[in-house]
Amino acid sequence: MRKITLTDKHQELLFQIPLFRDLPLNIKHSLLDWLDISLYSVDKKDIIATQGTLCKKLYVLLEGKLRVDIIDGLGNEVMIEYIVAARAFATPHLFSSDGVLPATFTAMEDSTLLTASKESMFKLISEEPKILHNFLCITGNCNVCTVSRLKTLSRKTVRERFVVYLLEHKKKNSSTVNIIHNQATLAEYLNVTRPALSKEINKMIKEGIIDMDGKTVQILNEAILERYV
C-alpha cells in the first residue's frame, strides 16, 4: 500500500457510505477537519488488515473489492464475504471490548482505502449525534449479518447450507432468489467444494425442489426446503 492524496472524487465516495450519508452540509464541510485521515492506493492481493490484530482505525474501502477470511478453531481458512466499495468495514470492532479484528481483509483488485484514527472517530461521534446514530445502526446490521453467516456454516451437509443460503436471500412473498455469487465463489462462501455443490444443486433440480437459470433460482417447493432448517 502507498499513500496518495485525497481528491474531490474521494470525498464524494466517502459521503456515499451509510456512516456519512445524508449528513447536513455543515457537518460535511467540517468532517475532514475532525478526522485524522490517511488515503492509500492498494494493489491486488495486498493484505489490508490481519485477523487477531488490534483495530485502531476506521477502515473505508472507497474503490475496489476485498475478500474477508477467517481461520477457524480447527485451523481452516473460511471465506466469509466480499466487500465491494464504497463501504466501511470492521466498524463494530473499533470500540469493542478487545478491539481485535476477527478476520483478514485482502484486496481482490486494485483498490483505494481510507483510514481515520480511532481517537478522531471517537471525538467525531461524541460531538455529532447523527453520525453516532449511523454508527450504531451499522454495528447492529453487522451483528445481524454475522448471525446469518454462522447460521449457514453451522449446517453439516451441502444441501442444508445451500438451502439456508436460499432462504436467507429470498425476498418476502417471492419464490425467486438472485444469487450474488458465481458457483465457485458460492462454494467458497458455503465452505464446500464446487463439485459437491454442483452435484447437490442438480439433485434438487431433478427432485423438483428448485429450478435454476444462471444465477436465478426458482423455488418450486418451499415446504421441502424448510424441512432442512
* Domain termination site, one of 92, 117, 147: 147
Per-residue pLDDT at 33 = 87
**Full residue range of the structural domain in which residue 138 is found:** 2-147
**Phi/psi at 90 (nearest 5 deg)?**
65, 20
- Point out which residues pair with 41 in neighbouring strands: 2, 112
Per-residue pLDDT at 96 = 82
Higher per-residue confidence, 3 vs 78: 3
Q: Number of structural domains, the chain?
A: 2
- Looking at every residue in the chain, the average pLDDT score rounds to 88
CA dist 38 and 51 (Å) reads 21
Per-residue pLDDT at 148 = 65
**pLDDT by residue (tens digit) across 93-123?**
888 878 889 899 999 999 999 999 999 999 9
The verdict on 187 and 126 lying in the same domain is no
Per-residue pLDDT at 63 = 96
Q: Is the pLDDT of residue 153 over 80?
A: no
The verdict on 183 and 111 lying in the same domain is no
The verdict on 27 and 64 lying in the same domain is yes
Residues 38-66: what's their mean pLDDT?
Answer: 94
The verdict on 71 and 174 lying in the same domain is no
**Phi/psi at 192 (nearest 5 deg)?**
-130, 170
The separation between the first and the last C-alpha atoms of the chain, rounded to the nearest angstrom, is: 43
Cell readout for 103 is 478476520
* Domain termination site, one of 96, 127, 147: 147
% of the chain beyond a pLDDT of 90: 48
Per-residue pLDDT at 144 = 58
Find how far residue 37's CA is from the centre of its chain.
22
Residues 183-188: what's their mean pLDDT?
Answer: 84
The verdict on 73 and 164 lying in the same domain is no
* Domain termination site, one of 122, 147, 172: 147
3-state secondary structure of 16: coil
- Residues in Cβ contact with 152 at an 8 Å cutoff, skipping those fewer than 6 apart: 161, 164, 165, 168, 189, 190
Return the half-sphere exposure (C-beta side, CA atoms, 13 A cut-off) of residue 35. Answer: 26
Q: What is the CATH number of the domain that holds 175?
A: 1.10.10.10
Per-residue pLDDT at 147 = 64
The verdict on 104 and 10 lying in the same domain is yes
Q: Is the pLDDT of residue 141 over 80?
A: no
Residues 178-193: what's their mean pLDDT?
Answer: 84
Is 153 part of a structural domain of the chain? no
Q: Is the pLDDT of residue 69 over 80?
A: yes
The verdict on 95 and 192 lying in the same domain is no
Is 19 part of a structural domain of the chain? yes
CA dist 156 and 208 (Å) reads 23
The verdict on 194 and 92 lying in the same domain is no
CA dist 43 and 138 (Å) reads 27
CA dist 65 and 175 (Å) reads 30
Per-residue pLDDT at 91 = 87
Taking phi over 0 as left and psi of -120 to 50 as alpha, with beta for the rest, 148 belongs to alpha
Per-residue pLDDT at 6 = 92
The verdict on 33 and 130 lying in the same domain is yes
